[in-house]
């Protein structure tokens, strides 16, 4: 399967009376876009704001971050099973609006939502301080349940990203990159002999209400471990629908730009043989964890993998899924590397993971989420600061009278992202 991504570099965003891309600047008419959002009766009010790199702007609480894309050629459309029809994606041509994002924010859904600072020390911890952000701020209708609001906010963000992405359909890309994934038969080609057969196991957050990830529109908790082509993610086959801690949340933007996938594809046929990718869920009950990890290990052995990278999302309960996946692959003779972050206490001296095993002896750390930081006051707040003291990583008194925030880096979107989509590590 071959996918060609055409990157259009967006240099800025401004409001206007029409929607277009002019000289690599996105021009949007907020009035027409808001009409799409307010079609959902669960959303009472909404507005758009713009946040650009370097500004003294704080966005909070953030729900999701989405990169606009449009399917130019080939089967399916962006976000299949959610916005587009349920067609298999991951091939053909897709245009990407690189350098910008649609960010959803507003009244809190769950306590595990976070902050994006566009400047200051907090900006160094999130990749979205470097993107030009079109921020959709929403207010839910009275009396609706949190999961109904989460769904409405999630769909609104995805719809806006698709509408904006459509503006890039007829623009010549600044850069084109071709990604090609081999069939299982092709991974046994003579030219690949001697290279280690490496696979990727991606764990999807699916622990329950407000902890969901969607695969072709299906909640991952309703699925078993399965194969997926890496390029399918680049067309939006997997979208975020959860409220896990901001620091290690895989936003939809992260799924579209998974750095583990990009690195494995870049190394395929050179230093390794990228055999395939398995997605598996993170569930609540022990029996479900056993079932999913058994399926993952059997599939990895069937392909077969010589080695595997395993990434997770979240912490605590999912650490058990992570260690189960790791140890079961290791016992089949498959060498594993796990990618995770740590919750080692503010002094860094506590046990980093809620579960452990001596077979988990190759670990890439994305940093300690309990590390503390002081975020200075900002000139402009997009959203609301009402919930800063109660979001994960905050505490009573986190929000200071002068508008500064003292908290753990857990409050920052993407600070310790477990796909390695950040600049943090530990040793």
Q: Which residue has the tokens 């027409």?
A: 32
Nearest-angstrom CA–CA distance, 140 and 118:
26
Q: What angle do helix axes 30-37 and 146-165 make, rounded to 10 degrees?
A: 140
Give the model's pLDDT for residue 200. Answer: 98
Which is the catalytic residue, given 43, 109, 243, 310?
Answer: 243
Give the model's pLDDT for residue 196. Answer: 98
Is 243 catalytic? The answer is yes
pLDDT tens per residue, range 379-395: 999 999 999 999 999 99
Give the model's pLDDT for residue 406. Answer: 98
pLDDT tens per residue, range 202-251: 999 998 778 899 999 999 999 999 999 999 999 999 999 988 899 999 99
Give the model's pLDDT for residue 47. Answer: 97
Going 82 to 83 to 88 to 93, the CA torsion angle's sign is negative
Q: How many residues does the structure list for the chain?
A: 427
Are β-strands 175-180 and 2-9 bridged in parallel, bridged antiparallel, or unpaired?
Answer: antiparallel
Nearest-angstrom CA–CA distance, 324 and 357:
9
3, 234 in Cβ contact below 8 A?
yes
Nearest-angstrom CA–CA distance, 172 and 175:
9
pTM: 0.96
Give the model's pLDDT for residue 187. Answer: 95
pLDDT tens per residue, range 29-77: 999 999 999 999 999 999 999 999 999 999 999 999 999 999 999 999 9
Give the model's pLDDT for residue 110. Answer: 73
Give the model's pLDDT for residue 244. Answer: 84
Give the model's pLDDT for residue 427. Answer: 65
- Residue 28: is it exposed, middle or buried by C-beta count within 10 angstroms (0-12/13-18/19+)? buried
Give the model's pLDDT for residue 111. Answer: 74
Residues in the chain where the model's pLDDT stays below 70: 426-427
Nearest-angstrom CA–CA distance, 135 and 407:
23
């Amino acid at each position: 399967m071959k996918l060609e991504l055409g990157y259009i570099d967006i240099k800025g965003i401004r409001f206007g009376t029409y929607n277009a891309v002019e000289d690599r600047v996105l021009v949007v008419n907020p009035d027409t876009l808001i009409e799409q959002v307010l079609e959902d009766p669960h959303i009472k009010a909404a507005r758009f704001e713009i946040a650009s790199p370097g500004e003294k702007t704080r966005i909070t609480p953030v729900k999701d971050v989405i990169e606009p894309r449009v399917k130019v050629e080939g089967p399916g459309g962006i976000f299949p099973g959610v916005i587009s029809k349920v067609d298999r994606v991951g091939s053909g041509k897709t245009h990407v609006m690189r350098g910008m994002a649609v960010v959803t924010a507003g009244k809190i859904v769950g306590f595990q939502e976070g902050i994006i600072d566009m400047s200051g020390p907090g900006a160094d911890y999130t990749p979205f301080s470097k993107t030009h952000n079109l921020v959709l701020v929403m207010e839910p209708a009275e009396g609706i349940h949190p999961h109904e609001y989460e769904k409405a906010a999630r769909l609104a963000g995805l719809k806006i990203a698709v509408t904006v992405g459509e503006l890039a359909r007829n623009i010549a890309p600044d850069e084109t990159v071709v990604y090609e994934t081999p069939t299982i038969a092709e991974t046994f080609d003579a030219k690949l002999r001697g290279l280690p057969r490496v696979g990727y196991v991606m764990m999807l957050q699916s622990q329950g209400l407000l902890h969901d990830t969607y695969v072709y529109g299906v909640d991952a908790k309703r699925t078993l471990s399965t194969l997926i082509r890496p390029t399918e993610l680049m067309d939006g086959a997997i979208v975020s629908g959860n409220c896990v801690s901001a620091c290690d949340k895989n936003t939809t933007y992260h799924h579209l730009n998974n750095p583990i996938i990009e690195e494995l594809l870049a190394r395929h046929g050179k230093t390794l043989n990228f055999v395939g990718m398995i997605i598996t869920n993170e569930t609540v009950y022990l029996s479900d964890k056993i079932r999913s990890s058994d399926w993952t290990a059997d599939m990895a052995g069937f392909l077969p993998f010589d080695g595997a990278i395993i990434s997770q999302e979240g912490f605590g309960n999912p650490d058990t899924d992570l260690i189960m996946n790791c140890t079961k692959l290791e016992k089949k003779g498959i060498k594993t590397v796990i990618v995770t972050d740590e919750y080692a206490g503010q002094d860094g001296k506590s046990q980093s993971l809620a579960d452990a095993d001596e077979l988990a002896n190759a670990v890439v750390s994305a940093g300690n989420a309990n590390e503390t930081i002081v975020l200075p006051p900002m000139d402009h707040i997009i959203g609301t600061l009402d919930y800063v003291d109660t979001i994960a990583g905050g505490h009573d008194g986190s929000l200071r009278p002068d508008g500064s925030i003292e908290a753990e880096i857990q409050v920052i979107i993407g600070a310790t992202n477990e796909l390695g989509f950040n600049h943090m590590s530990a040793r």
